[in-house]
Amino acid sequence: MALTKNKKVLDFVESSANLAQPNNIVWIDGSAAQIKALKEEAVKSGELIKLNENLLPDCYLHRTKVNDVARVEDRTFICTPKKEDAGPINYWMDPREARELTNEIARGSMKGRTMYVIPYSMGVVGSPFAKYGIEVTDSIYVVLNMNIMTRVGKKVLDAIGKNGDFIKGFHAKCDVDADKRYIMHFPEENSIVSVNSAYGGNVLLGKKCFALRIASYLGKNEGWMAEHMLILGVTYPDGEKKYVAAAFPSACGKTNLAMLIPPKHYLEKGFKIECVGDDIAWIRVGKDGRLWAVNPENGFFGVAPGTNEHSNYNALESTKRGTIFTNVALNTDNMTVWWEGLSKELPEHCIDWTGKPWNSEKFDKHDKSTCAAHPNSRFTAPAENCPCVSPDFNSKEGVPLSAIIFGGRRASTTPLVYQSRDWNHGVFIGSAMSSETTAAATGATGVLRHDPMAMKPFAGYHMGDYFKHWIDMGAKVKNPPKIFNVNWFRQDADGNFMWPGFGDNMRVLEWILKRCGDSPIDAEETAIGYVPKAEDIDISELDYNIAEGKPFTLDSLKEILTVDKEKWSKEAEEIEAYYNNSIKDRIPQELWDCLATLKANCYVAPVAEKPAKKAAAKKPAAKTADKKPAAKKAPAKTAAKKTTAKK
């Protein structure tokens, strides 16, 4: 029975049913009894496997089809009437064509099945920042995941009310045919359509589709931001709290940073990290002239491989009850789960993510085809399970940001941490981000590609306009967060990570926050921005051994803080090519100016001119801008303008 009198909701449900022709329609009211019944039904049909009730109470395993294990970027479309509004790096389809195509695919696809109607909220129901959605789906897996990842049920319909608006989401599994898989976004119609997938980001429509692609479009028009960012709180020994948001591309460390456990001596001093969010931040201008962030989600859809009690104790704890695992391995000795990196010992009897017995003797960690769990296998865990979930998790106003951090997987070039000279330069750093691709999306992994603000797959409009929106947001706030870039993934010649990462990232966070106070700690001004003086990053009690027992010393730190001008000169050329060839137009002048400054700062004099250039090279960062060649599109006049810090 319909749970609302809202005509728009009823019309959407009716038209979806007319298209997909399900046998019956079930409204998800969010009650424990209904969710329990759905789990039982899914276990009966084999869609879920019940795990050991004593060891993993109320936990289930789900396996997807082997052709359906990650987001599909090349089948994800932004359907704006004008192609140029989707921009050059989004896949675009004409909205009418997209509707016709997906209607054709979805027509009659739920015959003999049930269509579930999920009313859900992104954000705390009733909060001024919350936005509501209705997802219809023929997948119980989707219902149960949405019930963890968002706030679901009758209370959402009550909040939408009789006339309220919502985002329409239509999902049909169809035949899970990869050749007919489409994830369509209609930003101007507040609508999403997803067909022929039953995996994560493709089908949990509240997550990437709504809370990033549609929301980024709404944010541009309404003056706020939807970002692919974790949010964490640092509590100091004296009780003071500061908040940070960080954008890293998919599978580049957001969940891990959001829940990190500081090194022992930090804990002993009284430092604490609390998690507000691990994937998405909605950011607004607060009355106090600062930026405030909320996490619109209610759970974690986290990467399983690599998660263990040392690397991410809090994430692992979060998965101990009420969790759905997707594409991990099943340990048949005790009906628990396993994945690469969970433990050193391999399980004796285990079924791999495809449902076949796993041969541990053939296991080679460098060969993904021998893995028991899929590299993009995931857990869907309620945020309330997390031992370090922030008391501000359900705050209606969110938390004020002291810092914004960008970062990616970079084997070389990018130092452990550096700070932008000001907001606009920070936007430039975000716009210029590159990172090696991961298993979170289909396609090759380990390929370096541009991923501005970790939003390449998620910005719902033109990337150039998105950069401009960032610039505009900075101009709106009196006290914008300081902007930083980190790289946990520098590698030595043998391919070993040069920084221990994980909990030890606390050491970098501490420095970052020391740069944000009223009397910031000193830093070195370099060609790319401010880099820490090595002595200012606490490396005490760091027993990390790089390869062959080489201890981590001040020199090791200095090495990963190095800014190599030659490499950065190439990087600048690379950024310029990206701007010119990929984003093409609509790049704000402020970013061209920053590029010109970077090029100028990294200019290495030809040998013959050595004596003349030597003095200039010594000059700090921005000041040298007017003496060196400007970036291609930046008029010399503006390129020469000195970047000044926002007061």
Piece of the chain touching ligand SPV by CB under 6 A; list 124-132, 201-209, 345-353, 568-576 = 201-209
> At residue 220, what are phi and psi to the nearest 5 degrees?
-60, -45
| Cβ closest to ligand GTP, residue 84 vs residue 538 | 538
Min separation Cβ 200 and Mn ion, Å? 10
Query: What whole-number distance in Å separates Cα of residue 291 and Cα of residue 78?
Result: 28
207 binds ligand SPV (CB under 6 A): yes
Min separation Cβ 88 and ligand GTP, Å? 24
Binding to ligand GTP (CB under 6 A): which residues in 484-503?
Answer: 488-489, 497, 501-502
Single-letter amino acid, residue 246: A
Q: How far is CA 174 from CA 20, 194, 247, in A?
A: 10, 10, 34
Q: What is the DSSP string of 241-285?
A: EEEEEEE--TTSSHHHHHTPPPPHHHHHHT-EEEEEESS-EEEEE
Query: What whole-number distance in Å separates Cα of residue 55 and Cα of residue 19?
Result: 43
Piece of the chain touching Mn ion by CB under 5 A; list 53-61, 229-237, 242-250, 593-601 = 242-250
CB atoms < 10 A from the CB of 616, how many? 14
Residues 6+ apart with CB under 8 A from 528: 415, 418, 563, 568, 598, 601, 602, 621
| Interface characters, 14-53, with ligand SPV (x: CB under 6 A) | ----------------------------------------
Q: Which two tokens stand for residue 54?
A: 């004593």
> At residue 375, what are phi and psi to the nearest 5 degrees?
-55, -25
Whether 252 is catalytic = yes
Min separation Cβ 306 and ligand GTP, Å? 3
In the list 90, 190, 194, 250, the residue contacting ligand GTP (rule: CB under 6 A) is: 250
Q: Which of 344, 343, 219, 206 is nearest to 293 (CA)?
A: 219
Min separation Cβ 460 and ligand GTP, Å? 17
- Which among 209, 252, 371, 602 is annotated as catalytic? 252
318 binds ligand GTP (CB under 6 A): no
Query: What whole-number distance in Å separates Cα of residue 449 and Cα of residue 173?
Result: 31
Say which DSSP state 217 is in. H
| Cβ closest to ligand SPV, residue 229 vs residue 587 | 229
Query: What whole-number distance in Å separates Cα of residue 565 and Cα of residue 571?
Result: 9
Q: State the binding partner of 326 from ligand SPV, ligand GTP, Mn ion, none, CB within 5 to 8 A by kind.
A: none
| Cβ closest to ligand GTP, residue 160 vs residue 252 | 252
In the list 27, 210, 266, 301, the residue contacting ligand SPV (rule: CB under 6 A) is: 301
| Cβ closest to ligand SPV, residue 451 vs residue 571 | 451
303 binds ligand GTP (CB under 6 A): yes
279 binds Mn ion (CB under 5 A): yes
SS (H, E, C) 7-75: HHHHHHHHHHHHHHCCCEEEECCCCHHHHHHHHHHHHHHCCCEECCCCCCCCCEEECCCCCCCCECHHH
Q: Which helix (H) or strand (E) holds 148?
A: helix 140-149
305 binds ligand GTP (CB under 6 A): yes
In the list 153, 302, 480, 481, the residue contacting ligand GTP (rule: CB under 6 A) is: 302
201 binds ligand SPV (CB under 6 A): yes
In the list 416, 440, 531, 630, the residue contacting ligand GTP (rule: CB under 6 A) is: 440
Q: Which of 234, 276, 229 is nearest to 248 (CA)?
A: 229
In the list 248, 358, 393, 552, the residue contacting ligand GTP (rule: CB under 6 A) is: 248
Q: What is the contact surface with ligand SPV in residues (CB under 6 A)?
A: 71, 200-201, 207-208, 250, 279, 301, 440
Q: What is the contact surface with ligand GTP in residues (CB under 6 A)?
A: 248, 250-256, 278-279, 302-303, 305-306, 311, 440, 488-489, 497, 501-502, 505
**Which residues are catalytically annotated?**
252
